[in-house]
Amino acid sequence: MTFRVEWVTLNAMAEATGYSVAALRAKIKRGQLFEEKHWRRAQDGRLLMHVENFNAWLKQ
């Protein structure tokens, strides 16, 4: 069984990319990453990152 994960936690994104959680939060706060495109809040309040859209942002 194969799963395609679209949204991951900030910690998972930090581990995968090498950016710290603080750096990712700063990019969100500065408006470099957009809500509902690059990140969103889950129903439990956790911040999640969209893997594919974040990777596209990196390639710009």
pLDDT 10s digits, 12-40: 999 999 999 999 999 999 999 999 999 99
Judge whether 13 lies within some domain: yes
Judge whether 1 lies within some domain: no
What band does 56 get if pLDDT is binned at 50, 70 and 90?
very high
Q: How many domains does the chain have?
A: 1
**Mean of pLDDT values over 42-60:** 96
> Domain residues for 14?
7-59
Judge whether 17 lies within some domain: yes
| pLDDT the model gives residue 33 | 97
Rounded Cα distance, 44 and 15, in Å: 22
**Mean of pLDDT values over 36-49:** 97
Q: Is the pLDDT of residue 5 over 90?
A: no
Judge whether 2 lies within some domain: no
| pLDDT the model gives residue 52 | 95
Judge whether 23 lies within some domain: yes
